[in-house]
């Protein structure tokens, strides 16, 4: 199907793309302003949000303080965090948890009725709120989805796959989305004065990932193709302990297990993290993930040993992980869990300011698809759901203040569509091989060749162009960053430069970096 718009829908108020925690929370915060929430799959059930297992970080304990939370975030970020943004997020965190409590989120409590707080890697205090052990993502998503469904100002439209932003006179004025399949596919132009992308991450562009298959970086690609500035795309976090049972996506053994004292061992039962970092298994994610990756590429097998730390309470405290292990015949109470690193979280994204504004008028971004400067080169565990909440509230406040002005919106030409396909296997494998835990110039150049070939084969189809734009931005920024920092490791540039600089680039810059690989992306 090409070039025909079947329907034009005028949205009163704002249009949110994405039904994860970031999109739903933003919509709720916008109420009673009218909001249309579009999502490809079921709101609150699809996307990474529903899969989150660890929890949400907030300095709420009497012996904790937002300053300590901010300091831990900055330490994890390897020199690239925006200190003002980190401070803002750490300060706002307890208020956003209070909002979730108001919406009905059933956080775990202690016997005295206070909220139970867990500890995770690289947090100096216990500050992770959670639900039913490891079910926080599913429970909070379901709570927000139910609340959004019951809110009269929110119109939830599921089953729409967005493929392109509509741009008129330099302003984002809506988006094109397809619905239906085969001969019944229809292309709808949704027009709105404020478009808010909450489309999540890009893990599914990698062959081994913990992310659901809809996390394909499409929102990022759409924004980049519309000329928006992209920040830090080279920083992709790998979760150290995906459960290695050959499933796609790979189920996760939450970091909280290491917080409880679980250890990493090789096939001989030998711990290896104690020789690598003073915090051993609780070292920053990139260090743990790279150590496991090197064990595996060195011919070893790696296991997470929870037998002593969690033991027979496993099923009760970590029901999701327990079920995943059981599906592969592993009893984690009595057997070590086989693990391997997997693409998990994108620190980079569409560049945003403190109000969630992108560099394009009319376009706001929130959640994992945004790059706010909170995470720097490496995300601190449980800060991502928090970022979606804090920026959701801020985007809502900003959009509410701005929507008074009338805007002229001519109808742009329709994009080219083809039947929706999963990301090409060739691309996913090349991303894992060349833009994974270890990178070098020759591999990244090979990856750029693969991206060009995949793009060419797509004949200009819009959804594929979003995916290849995102992959190109990751590869080009990784090529341009000639140092190792945080989650980005270059075998040919292992040193860290004294002065850290964030990456800011457009798709056009990424294309130029591709043509002149020794040039750095413009700061």
Ligand X SMILES: Cc1cc2nc3c(=O)[nH]c(=O)nc-3n(C[C@H](O)[C@H](O)[C@H](O)COP(=O)(O)OP(=O)(O)OC[C@H]3O[C@@H](n4cnc5c(N)ncnc54)[C@H](O)[C@@H]3O)c2cc1C
Active site residues: 285
In this structure, how many other beta carbons lie within 10 angstroms of the beta carbon of residue 32?
A: 10
Strands in 56-203 per DSSP E:
56-57, 117-118, 128-129, 154-158, 161-168, 171-179, 186-191, 194-197
Among 72, 82, 164, 218, binds ligand X (CB under 6 A): 218
Give SS3 for 445: helix
Cβ proximity to ligand X: between 286 and 509 the closer is 286
Q: Establish if 461 lies at the interface with ligand X (CB under 6 A).
A: no
412-to-87, 159, 273, 296, 500 alpha-carbon distances in Å: 40, 23, 55, 50, 40
Q: Which stretch binds ligand X (CB under 6 A): 3-11, 101-109, 380-388, 408-416?
A: 380-388
Cβ proximity to ligand X: between 79 and 367 the closer is 367
Site string (281-320) toward ligand X, x via CB under 6 A = ----------------------------------------
Q: Establish if 21 lies at the interface with ligand X (CB under 6 A).
A: yes
Q: How far apart are the first and last CA of the chain?
A: 40
Q: Which two tokens stand for residue 19?
A: 């039904």
DSSP sequence for 318-375 = -HHHHHHHHHTT--TTTSPEEEEEEEEEES-EEE--TT-B-SSBTEEE-GGGEE-SSS
Q: How many residues bind ligand X (CB under 6 A)?
A: 44
Cβ proximity to ligand X: between 196 and 480 the closer is 196
425-to-49, 209, 454 alpha-carbon distances in Å: 24, 13, 10
Among 143, 384, 432, 484, binds ligand X (CB under 6 A): 384
Q: Which stretch binds ligand X (CB under 6 A): 12-20, 98-106, 295-303, 403-411?
A: 12-20
Among 40, 77, 338, 348, binds ligand X (CB under 6 A): 40
Among 16, 30, 36, 48, binds ligand X (CB under 6 A): 48
Among 79, 137, 338, 356, binds ligand X (CB under 6 A): 137
Could you tell me the smallest distance in angstroms from the CB atom of residue 54 to ligand X?
Answer: 3
Q: Establish if 39 lies at the interface with ligand X (CB under 6 A).
A: yes
Q: Establish if 345 lies at the interface with ligand X (CB under 6 A).
A: yes
CA–CA separation, 135 and 249 (whole Å) = 18
Among 23, 174, 233, 341, binds ligand X (CB under 6 A): 23
Q: Establish if 238 lies at the interface with ligand X (CB under 6 A).
A: no
Q: Establish if 468 lies at the interface with ligand X (CB under 6 A).
A: no
Q: Considering only residues 53-92, where is the footprint of ligand X by CB under 6 A? A: 53-56
CA–CA separation, 162 and 168 (whole Å) = 17
Q: Which residues of 259-272 are buried (b: 16+ CB within 10 A; e: fewer)?
A: bbebbbbbeeeeeb
Cβ proximity to ligand X: between 200 and 259 the closer is 200
In this structure, how many other beta carbons lie within 10 angstroms of the beta carbon of residue 464?
A: 24
DSSP sequence for 255-290 = THHHHTT-EEEETTS-B-GGGT-TTGGGS-HHHHHH
Cβ proximity to ligand X: between 160 and 314 the closer is 160
Cβ proximity to ligand X: between 358 and 484 the closer is 358
Element (H, E) at 313: none
Cβ proximity to ligand X: between 54 and 486 the closer is 54
Among 29, 161, 191, 375, binds ligand X (CB under 6 A): 161
Q: Establish if 220 lies at the interface with ligand X (CB under 6 A).
A: no
Helix ranges (H only) for 150-178 are none
Q: Establish if 41 lies at the interface with ligand X (CB under 6 A).
A: yes
Closest CA to 119 of 239, 240, 318, 260: 260
CA angle 310, 312, 315 (to 5 degrees): 85
Site string (178-207) toward ligand X, x via CB under 6 A = --------------------xxxx------
In this structure, how many other beta carbons lie within 10 angstroms of the beta carbon of residue 331?
A: 13
Q: Which stretch binds ligand X (CB under 6 A): 36-44, 93-101, 103-111, 397-405?
A: 36-44
Cβ proximity to ligand X: between 90 and 444 the closer is 90
Q: Identify any residues that bridge with 500 across adjacent strands, giving them in sequence order.
A: none
Contact criterion met (CB below 8 Å) for 431 and 474: yes
Q: Establish if 388 lies at the interface with ligand X (CB under 6 A).
A: yes
Could you tell me the smallest distance in angstroms from the CB atom of residue 387 to ligand X?
Answer: 8
Cβ proximity to ligand X: between 16 and 306 the closer is 16
Q: Which stretch binds ligand X (CB under 6 A): 93-101, 310-318, 376-384, 397-405?
A: 376-384
Could you tell me the smallest distance in angstroms from the CB atom of residue 23 to ligand X?
Answer: 5
Q: Considering only residues 421-440, where is the footprint of ligand X by CB under 6 A? A: none
Give SS3 for 56: strand
Q: Which residues of 220-230 are buried (b: 16+ CB within 10 A; e: fewer)?
A: bbbbbbbbbbb
Q: Establish if 252 lies at the interface with ligand X (CB under 6 A).
A: yes
Binding site for ligand X (CB under 6 A): 17-23, 38-41, 46-49, 51-56, 137, 160-162, 198-201, 210-211, 214-215, 218-219, 252, 345, 367-368, 382-385, 388
């Amino acid at each position: 199907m090409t070039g025909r718009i079947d329907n034009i829908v005028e949205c009163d108020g704002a249009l949110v793309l994405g039904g994860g925690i970031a999109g739903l929370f933003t919509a709720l915060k916008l109420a009673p302003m009218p909001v249309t929430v579009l999502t490809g799959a079921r709101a609150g059930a699809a996307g990474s949000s529903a899969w989150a297992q660890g929890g949400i970080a907030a300095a709420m304990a009497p012996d904790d303080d937002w300053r300590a939370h901010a300091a831990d975030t900055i330490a994890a970020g390897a020199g690239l965090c925006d200190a003002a943004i980190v401070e803002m997020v750490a300060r706002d965190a307890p208020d956003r948890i209070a909002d979730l409590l108001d919406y009905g989120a059933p956080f775990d409590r202690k016997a005295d009725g206070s909220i139970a707080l867990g500890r995770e890697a690289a947090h100096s205090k216990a500050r992770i709120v959670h639900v039913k052990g490891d079910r926080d993502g599913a429970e909070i998503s379901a709570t927000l989805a139910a609340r959004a469904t019951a809110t009269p100002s929110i119109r939830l439209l599921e089953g729409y796959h967005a493929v392109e932003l509509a741009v008129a006179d330099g302003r984002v004025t809506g988006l094109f989305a397809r619905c239906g399949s085969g001969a019944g596919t229809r292309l709808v132009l949704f027009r709105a004065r404020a478009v808010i992308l909450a489309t999540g991450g890009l893990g599914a562009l990698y062959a081994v990932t913990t992310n659901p298959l809809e996390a394909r970086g499409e929102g990022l690609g759409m924004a980049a193709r519309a000329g928006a500035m992209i920040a830090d795309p080279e920083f992709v976090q790998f979760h150290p302990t995906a459960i290695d049972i050959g499933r796609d996506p790979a189920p996760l053994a939450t970091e909280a297990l290491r917080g409880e004292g679980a250890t990493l061992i090789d096939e001989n039962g030998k711990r290896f993290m104690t020789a690598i970092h003073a915090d051993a298994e609780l070292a920053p994610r990139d260090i743990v993930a790279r150590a496991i990756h090197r064990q595996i590429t060195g011919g070893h097998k790696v296991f997470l040993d929870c037998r002593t730390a969690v033991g027979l309470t496993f099923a009760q405290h970590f029901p999701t992980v327990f079920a995943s292990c059981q599906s592969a015949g592993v009893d984690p109470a009595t057997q070590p869990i086989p693990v391997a690193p997997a693409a998990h979280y994108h620190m980079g994204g569409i560049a945003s300011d403190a109000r969630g504004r992108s560099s394009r008028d009319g376009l706001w971004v929130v959640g994992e698809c945004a790059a706010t400067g909170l995470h720097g080169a490496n995300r601190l565990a449980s800060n991502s759901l928090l970022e979606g909440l804090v920026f959701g509230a801020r985007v809502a406040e900003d959009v509410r203040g701005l929507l008074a002005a009338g805007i002229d919106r001519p109808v742009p030409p329709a994009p080219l569509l083809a039947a929706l396909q999963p990301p090409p296997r060739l691309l996913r494998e090349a991303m894992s091989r060349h833009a994974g835990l270890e990178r070098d110039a020759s591999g990244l150049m090979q990856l750029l060749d693969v991206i060009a070939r995949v793009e060419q084969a797509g004949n200009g189809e819009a959804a594929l162009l979003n995916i290849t734009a995102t992959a190109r931005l990751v590869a080009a920024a990784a090529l341009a960053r000639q140092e190792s920092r945080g989650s980005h490791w270059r075998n040919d540039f292992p040193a860290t430069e004294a002065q850290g600089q964030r990456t800011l680039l457009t798709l056009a810059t990424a294309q130029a970096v591709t043509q002149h690989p020794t040039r750095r992306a413009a700061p």
